A and B are shown apart, each in its own frame.
Chain A
Amino acid sequence: MAKGYKYFEAIEKHAGKLAIFTAIMVSIGGLAEITPLFVEAHSITASAGVKPYDPLRLAGKDIYVREGCYLCHTQMIRSLRAETQRYGAYSVSSESVYDRPHQWGSKRTGPDLARLGGKYSDEWQRLHLLDPRAVVPQSNMPAYPWLADEPIDSKDSVARVRAVQLLGDPYSAEKIAAAPAALEGMTAMDALVAYLQGLGLPAEVAEDPT
């Protein structure tokens, strides 16, 4: 036993070997915790009522990402009583299958938005995005007035639908053919409000299959 020093010496006195063995040991946690979930994520199917985003809402989702809403708002209700009491049923993975990328977020400066849909009227959402303080005087959310003047590029939006279709989201040919008409005359504001109003399923939430 006492002679084991040479093994320690062999590793500790060679920077290359030490680095490789350190990397192996450090990566074990990730291999155990991340790899199985990463691989199995592809087998998760949409829970009842979760449908691919229609073209307008998809455009709205991309604006949500572009404006960095996820930096202050989560879309992840954790299974804690205080959270489910305030925001509704906790989030499950099968609700996020069409979110590319998911908008779970990790920082709540504003409230969670996972089940925002239908909580307020469309008009409230519009006014709130134009000037949050017009409806909530205590709010510290920035205003997004430019959204109302920004038309949606329907060609670009249809290309985005085709892109997520390529990734495997079920869109029928008719749905895609109807997209340009549905996007006609719409602004970024309309798209974002449509996206926000579609968030979450307050009524029924399926049990997580995993």
Chain B
Amino acid sequence: MSTFWSLWVMALVVFNLGLTLFLFSWARKVEIPTLEDGTTGHVWAHGVLRESVRRLPGWWVITSAGMFVFAFVYLLLYPGFGAWKGLLGWTQHEQHATQVALNDANVAELNSRFAQLSPEQLAANPLAQQIGERLFIDNCAACHQRNARGNPLLGAPNLVDDDWTWGGDDASITTSILEGRQGLMPPLGSLGADTVTDLAHYVLSLSGAPHDAARATNGQPGFALCSACHGSDAKGNPIMGAPNLTDSTWTWSKGDLPAIERAITDGLHGVMPAWKARLNQDDTRVIIAWLRSQSGDRLARR
């Protein structure tokens, strides 16, 4: 704040507080002229109501005086009187920093306790579950849904089944969260609609889904192109995020023929944004723990 505006504010504060304080103390002493009957002579309703003069009630005077005292003390302690910083040196940014430090200390203490726990123990810890769920709802649920079952519209995978496109160990999941992932299936519409349909039938046959056996046989040689990413055994490649095509898990659809044809023709582009600006390793650890706790059958199988 420049000196001019500081003086401007100070002058207005002095004028306002000074004038109101003067009026407050002076007006109480001013004598209001009255008629012989003790009224001021102001009448309403043809003389039915007449204005008389009474002393101000004590509670009102004390409250008003208290407000002046509050104003002076406040302006002395806190910023408000121009550039005056106040005796306490309070700023909202420092208050924020203090609160953040306090919270960080609590979280650090909590995380140091969590660090003693194995992933399985953490997944069973009610407090870790609560924190993990909260973080998941705030950060992950917009795409993966609150129940972590995923959203095929976005190709956001189900996170509580036993199927992990980019690797399901803790380190891989942490990398997926912090660094993000970009899954790219190139469009292959140039192969021609007929070839695409043959290929789609072959893909269906891989997981034993209902398909046209003749078309699947026609499509098989073309799969050589797909195997670059999905592997010659079609079991996928977690390094590229190429999903396993031999299981019954489908990320972008329910695994029906038109959806698979569309995926081959137009390609797919799944984006998992990087979260390292918003989440750290401790956060991802409790999120993963919560996911494990939601994935009952996975734990049972361990």
Contact = CB atoms under 8 A, between A and B. Distances in A.
B273 A121 contact: yes
A206 interface: no
A189 to B, nearest CB: 16
Given A2-B31, A5-B30, A85 B277 contact: no
A39 B273 contact: no
A55 interface: no
Nearest to B138: A86
A5 B32 contact: yes
Contacts of B113: none
Interface residues of A, number: 40
B13 A32 contact: yes
B180 to A, nearest CB: 9
B99 interface: yes
A2 B30 contact: yes
A15 interface: no
A138 B145 CA distance: 10
Contacts of B138: 86
Interface of B: 1-2, 5, 8-9, 12-13, 15-16, 19, 26-27, 29-33, 92-93, 95-96, 99-100, 103, 138, 141-143, 145-146, 151, 153-154, 269, 271-273, 277-278
B1 A5 contact: no
Contacts of B26: 1, 4
B12 A137 contact: no
B131 to A, nearest CB: 12
Contacts of B273: 118-121
Nearest to B100: A81
A137 B145 contact: yes
16 contacts: A2-B29, A4-B27, A4-B29, A5-B30, A5-B32, A5-B33, A31-B12, A32-B12, A36-B5, A40-B2, A40-B5, A79-B95, A90-B96, A121-B273, A128-B142, A135-B153
Nearest to B2: A40
A81 B96 contact: yes
Contacts of A203: 277
A127 B270 CA distance: 13
A123 interface: yes
A203 to B, nearest CB: 6
Given A36-B8, A135-B151, A28 B30 contact: no
